[in-house]
Amino acid sequence: MTGKIGERKKSRGFLLFILMIALGVVAFAVVLTYTKKFVYGTGIVSKKYGDALKIAMQFFDVQKSGKLENNKIIWRGDSALNDGNEEGVDLSKGMYDAGDHMKFGFPMAFTATVLSWAILEYGDQMEVVDQLQPAKESLKWITDYLVNAHPTSNELYIQVGDPVKDHKCWDRPEDMTEKRPIKKVNPSAPGSDVAAETAAAMASASLVFKSSNLKYSKLLLSHAEDLFSFANENRGSYSESIPEVEDYYNSTGFGDELLWAASWLYYASKDRKYLEFVTGEDGEKFANWETPTWFSWDDKLPGTHVLLSRLSFFGPEVVAETENMDMYRKSAEAVMCSLLPDSSSATSSRTKGGLIWVSKWHSLQQPVASAFLAVLFSDYMISSDTSKLECNSDSFLPSDLRMFAMSQADYVLGDNPMKMSYLVGYGNKYPQYVHHRGASIPANVKTGCKDGYKWLESKEPNPNVATGALVGGPSKADNYIDSRNNSMQGEPSTYNTAVLVGLLSGLVSVSSVPKSFK
Ligand SMILES: *[C@@H]1O[C@H](CO)[C@@H](O)[C@H](O)[C@H]1NC(C)=O
Ligand SMILES: *[C@@H]1O[C@H](CO)[C@@H](O)[C@H](O)[C@H]1NC(C)=O
């Protein structure tokens, strides 16, 4: 008996011991999950954001034009091989803009600049989930195109394809038969916006390739410097020189691109003349300090404010103390204060579901781009031991900014009233009728310009998954209509995938950002 009782006691004690270990393990797991979200410098990798990043990155492969190398998208093939031939330039590479087959230089260059920025700040985190190499390859696919698009100092090709004719076709890029006219800016038809954005793309990419391909990096920097001079000395908007772009990618001004390009050129060249540009007369004229706007393919100011706030955070001191430099940091802070939902200057442009919502066309662009800036700024704060952000009388922590960024990313990935992911290929419910020609037509059928329309009109889901496409997004009421003809909500774009890649890279883990611009 006693023996049994003793045994029972012993086994009870043992059970208790096991139970305590189990509880300990559970508690540890909970803490781990929690810290993964809220504590920095742990180096813990978020599986969710890592998986989403791997998916988002694939959209660049979906959008590639030209003779493909190591193509991983089974339904894609070579296309647009003769682009540029009519004027003796090779514009076959680059990426299609969205669901169509236009190559618009203004948003394409912005895609490259944002992708470079993401690589520079968060390349280490991309590497952890094996996305650094694909990111650099996609970036180079665009910069190779941009190099060829800039054959002489004062001449830049800014578009391939006729948008009116292109939009009257529904075909696969591999089977395109429509003419592909090209357009350029030069001193008699200036385009400071598109030329400066292209300079920004090349300057930032020159930093990305500095350690792996010095020759290419130098080539990009020299193109960037030339393009900046061309943009600056021949001031004018490309939308005025080439009015047909107004209906597609209208530029509402070029001052923001000049500052954005000069900022990137300062980082890439360390030439003080660019610093003087952004802090001098042109900065005062164009920077629109402390007036938050929305970062986008058209408006580079919030991006410039955040990018230059780096210099205030990390120096060197003589640079941080340049007159007006602190205005960029103050402006970046004003942007952050407008994004934080609990700040007294919070923007009211939000849905009930918590998404920043500014425009019904491609509604995800502003929340995702803003969240990318917020995660950057939060990492600048952490890396510089800046504990607080003051917004009028309230103060916020870097973790508040990071939580805001996560809230926007989580909304995109399925934490939303529709309970669906807006990133195609992620999760188990995502749009099936993405407005994308290549995805909507089976790879083994031949279509011409017009007979492909039956695939636009088909009631069947897309036969090909446009993996990584970030669709336009929900309505103000957090609704989404999954219809192939709904280009307002259902059309993806390469530039919106670029900002998403930036955001997700920042959320994969925590980076020591100041190292990134060496
Ligand atoms: C393009 O932008 C300019 C400058 O802001 C504006 O005046 C013009 O109305 C815009 N065009 C279109 C079609 O929106
Ligand atoms: C698609 O939308 C356009 C513009 O709203 C409309 O003109 C066209 O008839 C629609 N096509 C189909 C198949 O619904």
Provide the pLDDT for residue 44: 79
∠ CA 224-250-189, rounded to 5°: 55
Which atom of ligand 2 is the closest one to the Cα of 485? Answer: 1
Ligand nearest to the CA of 243: 1
How large is the average pLDDT for residues 418-427?
Answer: 98
Ligand nearest to the CA of 237: 1
How large is the average pLDDT for residues 263-268?
Answer: 98
The band of 366, judged by pLDDT with boundaries at 50, 70 and 90, is very high
In the predicted structure, residue 168 carries a pLDDT above the cut 70: yes
In the predicted structure, residue 35 carries a pLDDT above the cut 50: no
- Among 193, 250, 251, 254, the mutation site with the greatest number of ligand 1 atoms within 8 A of its Cβ is 250
In DSSP terms, 389 is beta-bridged to: 396
Cα–Cα distance, 286 to 357 (Å, whole number): 26
Which residues make Cβ contacts (< 8 Å) with residue 32, sequence separation at least 6? Answer: 44
In the predicted structure, residue 262 carries a pLDDT above the cut 50: yes
Contact 21, 13 (CB under 8 A): no
Contact 184, 155 (CB under 8 A): yes
Ligand nearest to the CA of 251: 1
Provide the pLDDT for residue 36: 39
The band of 18, judged by pLDDT with boundaries at 50, 70 and 90, is low
Provide the pLDDT for residue 509: 87
Which atom of ligand 2 is the closest one to the Cα of 453? Answer: 13
How large is the average pLDDT for residues 236-256?
Answer: 96
In DSSP terms, 291 is beta-bridged to: none
> How many C-beta atoms lie closer than 10 Å to residue 233's C-beta?
11
436 assigned to active site: no
In the predicted structure, residue 37 carries a pLDDT above the cut 60: no
Provide the pLDDT for residue 40: 43
Q: How far is CA 434 from CA 98, 233, 330, in A?
A: 11, 42, 40
| CB distance 222 to ligand 2 below 6 Å | no
Provide the pLDDT for residue 15: 66
Which of 21-30, 227-236, 386-395, 472-481 is the least confident region? 21-30
- The mean pLDDT value of the chain amounts to 93
- Cα separation of the two ends of the chain: 75
Provide the pLDDT for residue 510: 74
Cα–Cα distance, 52 to 36 (Å, whole number): 16
Cα–Cα distance, 83 to 102 (Å, whole number): 11
Q: How many helices (H) and strands (E) does the chain have?
A: 21, 5
Report the side by side order of strands in the sheet with 156-160.
103-104, 156-160, 182-185
Q: Which residues of 53-64 are buried (b: 16+ CB within 10 A; e: fewer)?
A: bbbbbbbbbbbb
Polymer length of the chain: 518
How large is the average pLDDT for residues 130-134?
Answer: 97
Contact 439, 464 (CB under 8 A): yes
Residue 462 Cα to ligand 1 midpoint, Å, equals: 35
Residue 156 Cα to ligand 1 midpoint, Å, equals: 22
Provide the pLDDT for residue 505: 97
Long-range contacts (CB closer than 8 Å, 24 or more residues apart) made by 228-231: 228/195, 228/196, 228/199, 228/203, 228/258, 228/261, 228/262, 228/265, 229/153, 230/153, 230/154, 230/156, 230/187, 230/195, 231/190, 231/191, 231/192, 231/193, 231/195, 231/196, 231/199, 231/257, 231/258, 231/261
Closest CA to 118 of 98, 101, 136: 136
Q: Which residues of 180-218 are buried (b: 16+ CB within 10 A; e: fewer)?
A: bebbbbbeeebbbbbbbbbbbbbbbbbbbbbeeeeebbe
Residue 242 Cα to ligand 1 midpoint, Å, equals: 12
Per-residue pLDDT of 199-225, as tens digits, reads: 999 999 999 999 999 999 999 999 999
In the predicted structure, residue 311 carries a pLDDT above the cut 50: yes
Provide the pLDDT for residue 514: 61
How large is the average pLDDT for residues 423-434?
Answer: 98
How large is the average pLDDT for residues 90-106?
Answer: 97
Cα–Cα distance, 47 to 56 (Å, whole number): 14
Give the predicted TM-score (pTM) of the model.
Answer: 0.91
How large is the average pLDDT for residues 274-296?
Answer: 98
Provide the pLDDT for residue 202: 98
Cα–Cα distance, 61 to 314 (Å, whole number): 35
Cα–Cα distance, 179 to 198 (Å, whole number): 25
Q: Which domains, ranges and CATH numbers included, belong to the chain? A: 36-507 (1.50.10.10)
Which atom of ligand 2 is the closest one to the Cα of 487? Answer: 2
Which atom of ligand 1 is the closest one to the Cα of 247? Answer: 13
In the predicted structure, residue 141 carries a pLDDT above the cut 90: yes
Please report, rounded to a whole number, the percentage of residues in the chain having pLDDT higher than 90. 87
Q: Which residues of 250-280 are buried (b: 16+ CB within 10 A; e: fewer)?
A: ebebbbbbbbbbbbbbbbbbeeeebbebbbe
Provide the pLDDT for residue 45: 84
Provide the pLDDT for residue 25: 58
| CB distance 457 to ligand 2 below 6 Å | yes
Provide the pLDDT for residue 247: 94
Cα–Cα distance, 312 to 296 (Å, whole number): 23
How large is the average pLDDT for residues 340-365?
Answer: 97
Does 7 or 164 have the greater pLDDT score? 164
| CB distance 246 to ligand 1 below 6 Å | yes
Contact 58, 73 (CB under 8 A): yes
Contact 490, 482 (CB under 8 A): yes
